[in-house]
Structure 1
Amino acid sequence: MTVMAERASSRLSVAMFERIAEFAAREDETVSFEFIDGRIGVKKVTNGNHDEITMWLVFQCKHARPELTLYPNRGLKVGAYRNGRAEPDGVLAPAGHYTGKGSWADPDGAVMAVEITSYDSDTHNRDRVEKPRAYAEAGIPVYLLIDRENLSILVHSNPDLEVGYRDIHVAMLGDKVTLPNPVGIELDTEELKRYLD
């Protein structure tokens, strides 16, 4: 399916992709689709531990910054020209920011994108290479990657259209991590060790 998707994506417009993704979401709830760097990516539905990490982060963000909300699986227009479509595991933005927005919202207003690695063959390329570049090109100030496979937390900041994120801070899972402004939250990630499977 991935090979067919890659071949088809070379001729695919954003509007066509959005129609395909909408149809696929109605037909198969076990996957979702993203369109980054002109390539369709298939994203499997998450498992319970992945969901627990997402909800832990939702509560941490809301407790520290009640005026912000971490929106799980919010579709965003990404890339330098907003010609990509990504579905981060979380997008931190002002509360109410996505009211009335469609399935794929403009990234303006987002202060952080979050990804939590899955145990699949495309995780490296998707979460560690393509998405950081796409989020930086979209001007999202902070990208947080919770890397369960490498037992680490990567905080990307200082986005640049040409090179991606200029600053990357790496911490071990279990450490305290400071998310830079405009997020301005400190996370104690010790609890996340419970959700590695």
Structure 2
Amino acid sequence: MLATPTGLEFRVTAPPGGWTVESVLELPDEERARNVVELVDGVLHVSPLARLEHQRLVGRLWGQLSPGAAPRYEVLPGANLVLGNRNDRLLIPDLVVSTAPGLEGVSLTEKQVLLVAEIESPSTRVQDRIFKKALYAEALIPYYLLVDPEQEAATVYALSDGDYLPHAKSEGGVLELAEPFPAELDLRA
């Protein structure tokens, strides 16, 4: 049993040999439906599902990114993303822009992703700004979109020599993208 940051119990037993991507994806639906369950270097990271305001922003961003992405790319909310060939890293970004539209299955790999997006919350701010950003860069995902809803601000980072550099920043609550495809993201509530 693990405790989530909100104190809710997460009842699972580690499989023999430790956690792998497959063992996480085989967890009971009722456990995964109540929590975000990610895996980094064989260690489970469990957090409660995001607040409703967060989910609404995910929906708005999906709607604003999708027209510019289609038909070459597909924008997916909350997709399982397997990083590397190690079988011990599984993250669930708020949004993923896939380079394999129409792909079926339960997960994507970093080779099938153009952009990942994370929307900060008070409980995930450090993870999103430092930890996940580093993991996505290590996986060589070309673009990282980081959204701070409290400030109505967003930055798109582009991968350069294995690290993310700021590529575009929002102004007045609006982020204008030319790359990786044209889109206007309105972050204002």
With structure 1 as the length reference, what TM-score do the two structures score? 0.74
Aligned CA-pair RMSD: 3.1
8 Å CA contact 1:139–1:160 kept in 2: the answer is no
Offset at residue 23 of structure 1 (A)? 2.0
Paired position in structure 2 for 1:84: 89
Offset at residue 106 of structure 1 (A)? 1.5
Offset at residue 96 of structure 1 (A)? 3.0
* Separation in structure 1 between the aligned mates of residue 30 and residue 160 of structure 2, nearest angstrom: 35
Where does structure 2 lack aligned partners over 5 or more consecutive residues?
none
8 Å CA contact 1:177–1:187 kept in 2: the answer is yes
Secondary structure of the structure 1 residue equivalent to 2:118:
strand
Structure 2 counterpart of 1:59, from 41, 56, 63 = 63
Offset at residue 168 of structure 1 (A)? 5.3
8 Å CA contact 1:155–1:179 kept in 2: the answer is no
Paired position in structure 2 for 1:115: 118
Query: CA separation of 1:188/1:60 partners in 2, compared to 1, >3 Å: closer, same or farther?
Result: closer
Paired position in structure 1 for 2:131: 130
Q: What letter corresponds to residue 56 of structure 2 in structure 1?
A: E
1:35 counterpart = 2:39: yes
8 Å CA contact 2:4–2:48 kept in 1: the answer is no
Query: CA separation of 1:154/1:74 partners in 2, compared to 1, >3 Å: closer, same or farther?
Result: same
Query: CA separation of 1:79/1:179 partners in 2, compared to 1, >3 Å: closer, same or farther?
Result: farther
8 Å CA contact 2:116–2:144 kept in 1: the answer is yes
Query: CA separation of 1:2/1:119 partners in 2, compared to 1, >3 Å: closer, same or farther?
Result: same
Query: CA separation of 1:28/1:86 partners in 2, compared to 1, >3 Å: closer, same or farther?
Result: closer
8 Å CA contact 1:82–1:138 kept in 2: the answer is no
Secondary structure of the structure 2 residue equivalent to 1:140:
coil
Secondary structure of the structure 1 residue equivalent to 2:184:
strand
Q: What letter corresponds to residue 27 of structure 1 in structure 2?
A: E
Overall identity of the aligned pairs, in %: 23
Deviations along 1:70-128, one digit per CA (max 9) or x if unpaired, are: 111111112585641100111111463532x3x333121211101112332xx123211
Offset at residue 175 of structure 1 (A)? 2.8
Structure 2 counterpart of 1:185, from 182, 185, 188 = 182
Q: What letter corresponds to residue 47 of structure 1 in structure 2?
A: R
With structure 2 as the length reference, what TM-score do the two structures score? 0.77
Deviates more, 1:68-77 or 1:17-26: 17-26
8 Å CA contact 2:34–2:49 kept in 1: the answer is yes
* Separation in structure 2 between the aligned mates of residue 80 and residue 19 of structure 1, nearest angstrom: 15
* Separation in structure 2 between the aligned mates of residue 77 and residue 107 of structure 1, nearest angstrom: 7
* Separation in structure 1 between the aligned mates of residue 159 and residue 97 of structure 2, nearest angstrom: 16
* Separation in structure 2 between the aligned mates of residue 98 and residue 170 of structure 1, nearest angstrom: 31
Where does structure 1 lack aligned partners over 5 or more consecutive residues?
none
Paired position in structure 2 for 1:158: 159
8 Å CA contact 1:24–1:32 kept in 2: the answer is no
Q: What letter corresponds to residue 117 of structure 1 in structure 2?
A: E
Query: CA separation of 1:128/1:24 partners in 2, compared to 1, >3 Å: closer, same or farther?
Result: farther
